[in-house]
Amino acid sequence: MAEDLPFDDNEFDLAVLINTLEFLDDPLKALREAGRVAKRKVFICVMNSLSWRCIIDRLQGLISEDLSRHIIPYHIWGLKSYVRKAYGPIPVAWRSEGRGAFGTFLGLSATMEYTVRADNLLLKISMGKKEQPVGGGLTTSRMFPK
């Protein structure tokens, strides 16, 4: 589930969504999750709604039961808008396969910028087994007398 990834914050340098957003009910939630698990960048590749290939596929999907009937393609301005909603004003770079904003596929790279970044630190010592309670046997009535 792209909307609920089973990974820690900042676990990966790069999160990649290739032809994923087109099939999701909540693409914004998936983008936020990708940004949560990525330290440096999120790369997104989607079908371009402005390409001839996508337009032809969508028209064919109206006539027959085709996979293209169920996808939601994006154009670069819509994709950039989703990225801004998910991550705020961060640096993005994009390319299209082919003719500018009209190529079949769009690729967008979003560079993550954090004011606070989670750092996963490993515990290097073993706690071992204690035979006494951590509080030294003190009960709450002995710790906080009335």
Please report, in angstroms and rounded to a whole number, the separation of the first and last CA atoms in the chain.
52
Domain hosting 75: range is 12-111
Q: What would the two tokens of residue 89 be?
A: 């004003």
Q: What would the two tokens of residue 138 be?
A: 């003190």
Q: Is residue 82 part of a domain?
A: yes
Q: Is residue 36 part of a domain?
A: yes
Q: Is residue 81 part of a domain?
A: yes
- Tell me what pLDDT residue 139 has: 54
**pLDDT tens sequence for the chain (146 residues):** 888 889 999 999 999 999 899 889 899 999 999 999 999 999 999 888 887 787 777 777 667 776 666 778 888 899 999 999 999 999 999 988 776 777 788 889 999 987 555 666 666 666 666 565 555 555 555 545 55
CATH code assigned at 82:
3.40.50.150
Q: Which of 44, 120, 121 is nearest to 87 (CA)?
A: 44
- Tell me what pLDDT residue 80 has: 93
Q: Is residue 137 part of a domain?
A: no
CA pair distance 20, 30, nearest whole angstrom: 9
3-state secondary structure of 69: helix
Predicted TM-score (pTM) of this structure? 0.68
- Tell me what pLDDT residue 101 has: 72
Total structural domains within the chain? 1
Q: Is residue 87 part of a domain?
A: yes
Q: Is residue 31 part of a domain?
A: yes
Q: Is residue 134 part of a domain?
A: no
Strands in the chain per DSSP E: 12-18, 38-47, 92-96, 105-111
